Structure 1
Amino acid sequence: MVRVHPIAEVLSKAAGGDFPTVDGGWQRVEPWRPGVEGVVAFTGHAYLAVDHDVSDGTLVSLSPDGYGGASNPRLVSRLAGTGWIDALDIILVARGTGGEPTLVPRSDLRNHPRAEHATSVRSDVTTFGYAVPDDHTLVTLSTGLGGLPEVGLETDPSKDHVGADVVRDALTLIPEGEVAVAACAPGNARALRAFLSAGFEPVASVQLWRPER
């Protein structure tokens, strides 16, 4: 039997409108990817994915809570040590549409900076794009937050693509009805509007780090 990670479970429930209880609490869970930790925060409840070398007592001493405390920069910095810390992102969820994909595998885009970033925090990263060779629009499909399919993208500025259309095309890569996630920086308004227009809904926040303690 395949074990579903708690973060995948809670995000899948949120995609159906079932959110964690707003109690100000927090829970500790296992990291879903070796070498990457993070905090996933919902309205009034948070999840800390931290490895075993950090004791429960240490976590408690950092005063996490579900009202923003679990995402406090001091807490994140303490847990990351001298390691890399990602930006605080919005988590968006949608369901795959399946069907005949418009996008094709594009191994030539594997060294794109966005693909390299995906590889550093996600697993099984595959790069897709449009069939026209000089179109460098990139879509990444990975095993991401909690083990769920995670979509990332960047449009080619020299092409006349609408971001929302690219997101919709990306959802055809995922089986119909399967929950998919995307992470978007709040300040990246153009990308955020594209995901929202294509049917993604915001459910939580996430901040990742690769600890060096």
Structure 2
Amino acid sequence: MSATPPALLGTRAAWVWDFRDPQGIIRAASHLRLRELFVSVPAEPAPDLPVLRQLALLAARRGITLAALGSATEWVLDHAAARRWRDRVLASRLFPRVHLDVEPHVEHDWPGGITWPDRRLVRGYLTLLDQFPSNRLEVDVPFWWETVPGLTRPSLADEVLARSRVTVMAYRTDPDAIIAVARDVLNRADALHTRLRPRYVRVGVSAAPVPGCPDCGFTAPDVLERALDDVV
């Protein structure tokens, strides 16, 4: 195992893509022993603040932290839009942290015929991360980003690890396979980890089927829970 802890103990988290049922969300989060929720907050239209406030209140009663989840791929090139979203979610005072799930490789219509991993997109992505306070930021990283060259570091995974906390998307269903695909990012975090600048990595899995990859996403909650217990 890497000497770098895969997130702090007691910090199991989950992505929440629909926050319209606060009570149901917190009930499920409590059952799964979650300590943080990455709550998707759309760039447009403006989110339903009363519902978010109710979710934040219920979460606080259970000791659960909320992070604003942003996933607009266009932010890679439109940093002004990212800053507007950042300012809005932080001004709400509902979210102590920000979580980004921005995946430039899934967008196939970049302007000017740019294709991933063109250095302009890598540079734009890293500039996007720099728009957020590093002590409040966590970023989703595909496990294979060690194959994407960085700008000043060996890989894009290293670049992100140097800027923020990371959730490595280790989308497998077998516990050994989950750790195996996360291993590279864990090792890279270990290389950067110091007492004064610790690097924390969560290992993320998909709680839903992944199209085209039968071994990448869980289909039954009880199987998911057993796998998480084995990994953690």
**TM-score, with length taken from structure 1:** 0.29
Hey, which of these two has a bigger chunk of strand by percent?
1
Q: Which structure exhibits the higher relative contact order, with contacts defined as CA atoms closer than 8 Å and separated by 6 or more residues?
A: 1
